[in-house]
Amino acid sequence: MRMSLIFCSVLEEEVKAVIQGLANSPSLYGMPQGLHNEPPRLRTELQKAVNQIESEFKPDAILLGYGLCSRGIEGVTTKTAKLVIPRAHDCITLLLGSRKRYSDYVNVYPATYFYSVGWNKHHIPPGPKRVEILRAEYTEKYGEDNADFLMESEQHWLNTYERATFIDTGVGPRESEAKRTQDSADFLGWKYDQQEGSLDLIRALISGDWNQEDFLVLEPGQTAKMTADDEIITNAD
């Protein structure tokens, strides 16, 4: 089966680790981190990628290395290929290996900000570096007084969290990024935790092991929508 994988750059290290040595690895299409902050834009960019892949590679299946991601995947559809989507709210489920692990963790520790090798690389997570960059950016654009006000707003947002959790999936510069996460937690006055990640869900997606519990498999022309239960997504038809 010819497959193509569209994935968020946050998962870059994990995807590389899974496809290494595979006899039938999918063609890869990486997307920039942060598109989920603007769901309509994420939807548009994903659809562009799907259209390009179908035109150039003509795969039998297009795999999304995304979860629901602020509902940004709703409306994305294919013309000729199957569309395979993990039943996940976001990339954290993919990094932990199952949506049950994710839900179990956030039910106990709801005020958690998650970090990972890819998250730290492709995003500026809460910590001293983010404060330094934002203050310089705000000062340049809006002046010192306005920068102070905007940094207070940033602090208000940060106060909704109390825990920094590093997900170690066993790939990439794990030790240095775990240390960076712990330093960020100390800087912010948050608790630090480290959780063992898993490549199982990403591996199942890429290998074609699409069990109904973990994946939604759509036929050409179909699209996904959010559900109000543990399935997370379902066929919108």
CA distances from 212 to 16, 87, 152, 217, 231 (A): 25, 9, 45, 8, 10
Q: How many CA atoms does the CB half-sphere of 153 hold within 13 Å?
A: 9
pLDDT at position 149: 87
Query: In sequence order, which ranges of 20-89 are alpha helices (DSSP H)?
Result: 39-56
Q: If you write DSSP's letter for every residue of 104-138 in order, what string do you get? A: HHHHH--SEEEE-HHHHHHS--SSHHHHHHHHHHH
Same domain, 112 and 169: yes
The CATH number for 209's domain is: 3.40.50
Same domain, 81 and 116: no
Which residue range forms the structural domain that includes residue 187? 95-196
Same domain, 192 and 110: yes
Is 80 exceeded by the pLDDT of residue 46?
A: yes
pTM (two decimals): 0.93
> Per-residue pLDDT averaged across 87-98, rounded?
96
pLDDT class of 147 with cuts at 50, 70, 90: confident
Residue 234 β-bridge partners: 225
Side chain identity, residue 147: A
Cα dihedral 100, 101, 106, 112 in deg (nearest 10): -150
Among residues 180, 196, 212, the one where a domain terminates is 196
Same domain, 103 and 190: yes
- What's the rounded Cα separation, in Å, for the pair 43 and 121? 23
Cα 50 to the chain's mean position, in Å? 18
pLDDT digits (tens, 9 = 90+) for 24-33: 899 999 999 9
Is 80 exceeded by the pLDDT of residue 21?
A: no
Same domain, 81 and 137: no
pLDDT at position 67: 95
pLDDT digits (tens, 9 = 90+) for 194-220: 999 999 999 999 999 999 999 999 999
Same domain, 104 and 32: no
pLDDT at position 50: 98
Same domain, 41 and 71: yes
Same domain, 111 and 227: no
> Per-residue pLDDT averaged across 42-63, rounded?
97
- The domain total for the chain is 2
pLDDT at position 99: 94
pLDDT at position 153: 84
Q: If you write DSSP's letter for every residue of 175-201 in order, what string do you get? A: HHHHHHHHHHHHHHT-EEEEEE--SHH
* pLDDT above 70 as % of the chain: 100
Same domain, 173 and 222: no
> Per-residue pLDDT averaged across 52-81, rounded?
97
> Per-residue pLDDT averaged across 153-167, rounded?
91
Same domain, 166 and 213: no
pLDDT at position 80: 97
